[in-house]
Chains A and B, each alone.
Chain A
């Protein structure tokens, strides 16, 4: 899911940085500071989880977990993902500094959208809650794939072709992450239900 350096034009890179800056500003403004520890821990989870790769066809896909961050952090997913991706670029040379903006936006924006789409489901009981959590995990990955394909479309890689390849490649990850988020939400609903009540 990380776009490499040198693939995108300077215009697309600048747009990526502008959108990420806006998202990060909103994220910092709307952060619930009582959840700072949760934000840091989830950023660490994202940082490490991206190292788990599943070989598939000509390439390999890795855990994204942007849905997990989006669900619990909302707009704060932007600064959390920005830090985690920056550290991945520096330590592991995944992506790169030039593409940091667009990579952050690709992963954070769908996660924030899913947060607002599915958070009301989490307040309900039973299957609806689990379905909401599963959809948040899975759809966030799908959204990240579509956003990445959209960025690649500007690099003459073709939107439909890129989107199809990325979505098919990430199908197992979508299912896996849907299950991970559903399990987490199910556990938290039993033991700490107040965490699922979002105020902002």
Chain B
């Protein structure tokens, strides 16, 4: 009996040592909105990404499927919902199926999705020639520059400006969003492991007491 307990304890300790370099057996999905699209990051752990996991984007209120896709080798995916969906004011539920019974979801709130609206509105304008844009723009911010002695007036539409600012903000906020994603992906802590073992030993004590308690 003592031998088996000793060997089991040894395996326990070895496992604890190895656990620090091991991988969590959960699947994580984290989605955020940048100026151009919804960005989804999927991983089993910080270092192990979900390659070719199945993603389903659905309306968070009606459950209607908007789009399906497969993550790339880095576990990432980008998706831009259409304008009509954004007008509905609903959120999007991102469901990741990583196979072998692993899945997880992430909810993107409607407020977050509104960041995409200026981009979608500005997108068709990009195809419009600059001269026409200058005529049609209602609220313009004039910006003068001199190229080879000739004066050229460039105009920026307010929507384009919004999209531009959004892009700059996204670049600045990207590290913060990635830090948030990493926070979601937290490995088991040593105190949890010790706590779990403590619970098992506590239950052993309880079972022993109930079995061998003095009876009148």
A38 to B23, CA, bound (A): 28
CB within 8 Å for A60 and B3 given contacts A36-B208, A41-B8:
no
Contact residues in A for B25 (Cβ distance below 8 Å): 1-2, 50, 53, 60, 62, 92, 94
Contact residues in B for A155 (Cβ distance below 8 Å): 101
Contact with A along B61-86 (1 / 0, CB 8 A): 00000000000000000000000000
Contact with A along B184-216 (1 / 0, CB 8 A): 000010001101110111011001100100000
Contact residues in A for B19 (Cβ distance below 8 Å): 48, 51-52
Q: How large is the interface on A (under 10, 10 to 19, 20 to 34, 35 or more residues)?
A: 35 or more
Name the CB-closest residue of B to A93. B26
- A26 close to B (CB within 8 Å): no
Name the CB-closest residue of A to B9. A41
Q: Which of A44, A59, A191 contacts B98 (CB 8 A)?
A: A59
Contact check, B1 vs A7: say whether CB atoms are below 8 A apart.
no
Contact residues in B for A43 (Cβ distance below 8 Å): 200
Taking the closest CB of chain A, its distance from the CB of B199, in whole angstroms, is: 6
Q: How large is the interface on B (under 10, 10 to 19, 20 to 34, 35 or more residues)?
A: 35 or more
User: What total count of A-B pairs have CB within 8 Å?
Assistant: 156
Contact with A along B8-21 (1 / 0, CB 8 A): 11011001101100
Binding site for A on B (CB under 8 A): 1-5, 7-9, 11-12, 15-16, 18-19, 22-27, 44-45, 48, 50-53, 98-105, 188, 192-193, 195-197, 199-201, 203-204, 207-208, 211
A-B pairs with beta carbons under 8 Å apart, 18 shown: A33-B211, A36-B208, A38-B8, A39-B204, A40-B204, A44-B200, A44-B201, A45-B11, A47-B196, A47-B200, A48-B15, A48-B16, A52-B22, A55-B48, A58-B52, A83-B200, A169-B100, A187-B7
